A = this chain, B = another copy of it.
Amino acid sequence: MIDPVVLKGFRDSLPKDEIPKKKIIRKLEDVFTSYGFSPIDTPVLEYTEVLLGKGGGETDKQIFRFKDNGGRDVAMRFDLTVPFARFMAAHHSEVGVPFKRYHISKVWRGENPQKGRYREFIQCDFDIVGADNTLSDTEILSMMHASFAALGIERFTFHISHRGLFSLFLAEIGIEDKSIEVLRTVDKLRKIGSDEVKKILTEITGDAGKADAVISFITAGDGKGFLETLETLEGLSGGESDASRRMREIYSILTSLGIEKSFVFDPSITRGLDYYTGIVYETFLDDLPAIGSVCSGGRYNDLASLYMKEKTPGVGSSIGLDRLLAALEELGSPLLSDTAEADIMIVPENGKEGEALSKAAELRKRGLRVSVYLLPEAKMKRIYAAAETAKIPYLMTFSDGTFSIKNLATRESLTGDEAIERLIEERVN
């Protein structure tokens, strides 16, 4: 016998996990599709050089990398951004720009598994490439808003800032040469608190006054409205600029769409990475702030520089699906609690299987999900247990060719066509 175990950091997905996951993915796909975003897919395995570039670095150690049977140095993708960059370099003329894509798929990282972190997990990325303007920034933000609304989450807030504004401010106080270290430090604000951030900033800049100035900048939005914050930041960054104008225009369109209340100007959002050049954002669930951002991203000015000379500016977001699922579970979302594998279980009468299967076919045509119980000679106790395991709320049994439908929660029994109409009313309409 071989032990039927999975690898450390990997897991099986049972129906109770997979049913809600598929529901959520479908809802997101429906929103993305309604915005004219197109699905793409890329190989799970790629040349290591394509994924890592010629350098390597931190990611290198976390990657599943090996020599294939043909001696090629290959690796499993560790995100969906790098393959998308490679994809755009290969297909930009075929797909045309501006191009809007989404990609929901697994990625792999060999990092040490912790609670809630796995070596195999699902990313959900969406990007607009080939346009650097207010319109595309707003379109991404609007789609994020529509996505969370479609998931039935009522209280969420997008924290948004602009990297250009931050850079102007750093130049203003004369520490633009330290920008990468400052960005990385500020990005840790939520984790380590402002005292610790100030301490590190003082070390970096060698000047407690400058550390204080940075803290004032990143907390300038606290308790203030969007436009008020924007004005304060303009003041701190040398007056009106392309960056501040962009933020004002974005806010104006969000307002005309009636969704501006979900957006706060939060200059502490920097997204650590050097990669971003324009707006940056994170998404928090108002009722679960501790879970951290469930959808993050921003604007970059060149996606595919590793693979082609043409610049591909873009703006994009990534939803960590596993974190989102955990959040929805904690919020008691009905998307997660209804994991019924069918609406009704039909138990055929011995020797009259044809009748039961015909009834099943009829109910399926009406939109019901019908599970036929396949060991009809089993004891009723076992049949009830099976319905319970699969969270199926109704049971249809036959006797002398006539059926009755039992509500397994209330134990109420009904017969006749009216019972079926009631069932369809409840489960389909």
Q: State the Cβ distance, A216 to closest chain B Cβ, in Å.
A: 33
A31-39, A201-209, A240-248, A319-327: which lies at the B interface? A31-39
Whether A120 contacts B45 in the complex (CB less than 8 A), given A142-B361, A307-B1, comes out as yes
Cα(A141)–Cα(B334), bound, Å: 34
Restricting to A334-388, which residues have a CB under 8 Å from any CB of B?
341-342, 345, 348, 353-355, 357-358, 361, 364, 368-376, 385-386
Which of these, B19, B43, B361, B386, contacts A96 with CB under 8 Å?
B386
B residues near A14, Cβ cutoff 8 Å: 40, 91, 94-95
Interface residues as binary, A126-166 with B (CB distance below 8 Å gives 1, 0 otherwise): 00101101111011001000100000000000000000000
Chain B residues whose CB sits within 8 angstroms of the CB of A91 once the complex forms:
12, 14
If A1-B307, A87-B12 touch, whether A353 touches B390 (CB-CB below 8 Å) is no
Interface residues of A in 1-43 (CB under 8 A from B): 1-8, 10-15, 18-19, 22, 26, 29, 33-36, 38-43
Known A-B contacts A5-B50, A256-B355, A369-B34; the reply to A43 vs B386 at CB < 8 A is no
Q: A46-B7, A95-B389 are in contact. Are A110 and B64 (CB under 8 A)?
A: no
Q: Does A69 contact B (CB under 8 A)?
A: yes
Complex interface bits, A90-124 against B, C-beta within 8 A gives 1, otherwise 0:
11001110101100001010100000000010000
**A61 located at the interface, meaning its Cβ lies under 8 Å from any Cβ of chain B in the complex:** yes
Q: In the complex, what distance in Å separates the CA atom of A10 from the CA atom of B66? A: 17
Whether A33 and B307, one on each chain, are in contact in the complex, defined by CB atoms closer than 8 angstroms, is: no
Evaluate whether A69 and B61 lie within 8 angstroms (CB atoms) in the complex, with A46-B7, A96-B385, A389-B95 already known.
Answer: yes
A72: chain B residues at CB < 8 Å are: 7
Contacts A64-B45, A135-B376, A307-B4 known; A256 to B358 CB distance under 8 Å? yes
CA distance A101 to B341 in the complex (A): 10
Chain B residues positioned under 8 Å from A138 (CB to CB): 353, 357
Contact A257 B354 (CB under 8 A): yes
* Least Cβ–Cβ distance between A14 and chain B, in angstroms: 6
Chain B residues contacting A142 (CB-CB under 8 Å) are: 357, 361
A357 to B257, CA, bound (A): 7
Task: Out of B18, B68, B357, name the residue touching A139 (CB < 8 Å).
Answer: B357
State which of B39, B64, B66, B74 has its C-beta within 8 Å of the C-beta of A7: B74
- Neighbour of A4 across the interface among B1, B2, B50, CB < 8 A: B50
Q: A12-B87, A64-B68, A96-B385 are in contact. Are A36 and B390 (CB under 8 A)?
A: yes
Bound: A91/B15 CA distance, A: 11
Contact (Cβ within 8 A) A12 B90? yes
A155 vs chain B, min Cβ distance (A): 21
Q: Does A411 contact B (CB under 8 A)?
A: no
Report the Cα distance A68→B68, complex, angstroms: 13
Q: Does A213 contact B (CB under 8 A)?
A: no
Evaluate contact between B341 and A45: CB separation under 8 angstroms: no
Q: Flag if B18 contacts A309 (CB, 8 Å).
A: no
A191 contacts across to B, CB distance below 8 A: none
Check B43–A7 contact: CB distance below 8 A.
yes
From B120, B133, B256, give the contact of A374 (CB < 8 A).
Answer: B133
Note all chain B residues with C-beta closer than 8 A to A130.
Answer: 374-375
Chain B residue contacts of A136, Cβ below 8 A: 374
For A29, A47, A101, A376, the residue with the greatest tally of chain B CB atoms inside 10 Å of its CB is A47
Contacts of A419 in B (CB 8 A): none
A70 proximal to B (CB < 8 A): yes
Give the top 5 A-B pairs by smallest Cβ distance, nearest first.
A36-B371, A256-B354, A66-B66, A36-B342, A15-B38
Q: Besides the contacts A7-B74, A36-B370, what 13 more A-B pairs have beta carbons closer than 8 Å? A: A1-B308, A2-B306, A4-B89, A6-B43, A7-B45, A14-B40, A15-B38, A34-B364, A34-B368, A36-B345, A44-B106, A128-B374, A257-B361
